[in-house]
Amino acid sequence: MQPGPYFAYFFILIWVIVQLLLGRWMFKARPNKCVIEKYPKMVMILLLLPFGNYWKKQVEKQDIRILQSYQFRVRLWLLSILISLLIFYAYITIR
């Protein structure tokens, strides 16, 4: 017996809610505007990339902790999106 369409709608709704909650949690760690404006845009872009720590050499020591917290949350959010897309791809492929 195959699950009905409501089963898929339920999981899509749960996925959207989880992504919204993770996104809200991620943006709570966003640094203040004065911290962001201190550094060039390239440093902020390197911060958001899921690899590398080159940006740490270009920021002041008191800002590293704030930026690392934001970087961790961004990476976690991106990882959750990647994992859910892989699960969706596996579901579509197997079905």
Helix (H, G, I), strand (E, B) or coil at 49: coil
| Number of domains composing the chain | 1
The pLDDT value recorded for residue 24 is 94
What is the residue type of 62?
Q
pLDDT at 51 over 60: yes
Tell me what pLDDT residue 86 has.
Answer: 92
Quick check: 17 pLDDT over 80? yes
Which residue from 65, 71, 87, 74 is spatially nearest to 8, judged by alpha carbons?
87
User: Is the pLDDT at 23 greater than 60, yes or no?
Assistant: yes
Find the domain containing 50 and state its range: 5-94
Q: Is the pLDDT of residue 1 over 60?
A: no
